[in-house]
Amino acid sequence: MGLRAVMSIEGINERKTFGNHVMEMEQILGIEAARTCMSMFIMTWPIME
C-alpha cells in the first residue's frame, strides 16, 4: 500500500504520516518532506560498532 493510499484512509492523520521511501515522499509531499524524512532516518539509524 502506498503513502497516498494510506493518507486517504479515514482516521489517519495525514499531517503526521510519513514513509521510508524518499522518492515517493518527494513526489507526494515535496522536496522538504523528503529531506526531513532522510534526516530523521539518518539520525535514528543504529550506529554499527
pLDDT attached to residue 37:
87
Distance, CA of 47 to CA of 7 (rounded, Å)? 31
pLDDT attached to residue 27:
94
| pTM of this structure | 0.69
Residue whose C-alpha cell reads 521511501 in the numeric block: 21
Nearest CA to 17 out of 32, 36, 31, 3 is that of: 3
pLDDT attached to residue 49:
62
Domain ranges of the chain: 3-47
- In tens, the pLDDT along 2-49 reads 889 998 999 999 888 878 888 999 999 999 999 998 898 888 887 766
